[in-house]
Amino acid sequence: MNDVIALTKTLINKKSITPDDAGCQILFKELLADIGFTNETMVFEDTTNLWSRKGTKQPVFCFAGHTDVVPTGPIDKWQSPPFEATEKDGFIFGRGAADMKASLAAMMVATRRFVEDYPAHKGSIAFLITSDEEGPFINGTTRVIDTLEERKEKIDYCIVGEPSSTNLTGDVIKNGRRGSLTGTLTVHGIQGHVAYPHLIKNPIHLVAPAISELAETVWDNGNAYFPATSMQISNIHAGTGATNVVPGSIEIVFNFRYSTEVTAEQLQQGVVDILDKHQLHYTIGWIKNGLPFITAEGSLIAASQEAIAETLGIDTTLSTAGGTSDGRFIAPTGAQVIELGPENNTIHKINECVNIENVKSLEKVYYAILVKLLS
């Protein structure tokens, strides 16, 4: 059995639902120690993280990823047990197969092969692994990066193993991500009987024009790397359950996915200006989920594109589409950061799976990138 496939299966078999690492990092510590890495476990609250490094010089090439997975959903809907890696029709099925245990396995096997082939390689190689990516993301990569920054330990190149590809491994590289800003708005009115409108203030009616304006506002026009900023309402809650009572308040949850053309502070002020324009009585809370980042074309992107073309015979597309990743915590340190992993069409779904041949291809691509940057 191919080493990368065996390791992928071993990782899938570990029930590592956020924030439980379930022993994945212990396995990685053993494998990395065997090829000369120094391991450092960082535990923050309920989250276990691993920082492992071989070498003391720059540049530092880092593989970053997460061992935690999302819950399975209804187990009876799966064609095979989600934490028993199962081969069928050229795929490996199991929770975390694509997001992102296959990537972790490919990183490990590629690194071992590279260290064996190039024992006197340049710079350093590191692994940053967390079990907090799919959950609150407050005690994982961001805390590790804070620790590294405090001791002035810098990452130069970073590949995050998120499933970036669309139809074939390597066809898409994510070289940036939009920022994410969540707002929770509560508009206050006066509760009362629907038959006595002169005694009530209906917050649903009051906020409706503001909602319309927020939805129609053009926040920016994007740029060469990012589409225009988008504001979407994800939840609205109001009412007492009775049909003859006007509620005293309405809660609206909304999210901005924004480009580098605007800041979180500008978006917050824009929302407040619209709410004030409509003379609403409101309270609002904000969560800054992540800043936008972009890695312009440079040595990491060039090496990755060349490795994909030479190894797989395909051209790759740069993209910033999709959700957020832990790359948003690493890029602000000055590192060149990309996301490169398998296809993302089954992630978080029932019967999540990954193509076996594409996992083998991914390991070869990672190896080739290491050769180009550190040999």
Annotated binding site for Zn(2+): 66, 99, 134, 162, 348
Q: How are beta strands 192-193 and 245-246 bridged, if at all?
A: antiparallel
CB 151 within 8 A of CB 331: no
Note if 68 is an active site residue: yes
CB 220 within 8 A of CB 229: yes
Provide the angle, in degrees to the nearest 10, between the axes of the packed helices 3-12 and 102-117.
140
Note if 40 is an active site residue: no
Report d(CA 84, CA 87) in Å as an integer.
Answer: 10
179: β partners: 258
- Residue 305 is encoded by which pair of tokens? 């594109």
**Catalytic residue from among 21, 68, 132, 363:** 68
Q: Which residue ranges make up the annotated binding site?
A: 66, 99, 134, 162, 348
**Catalytic residue from among 20, 30, 89, 133:** 133
Instruction: Point out the residues that are catalytic.
Output: 68, 133
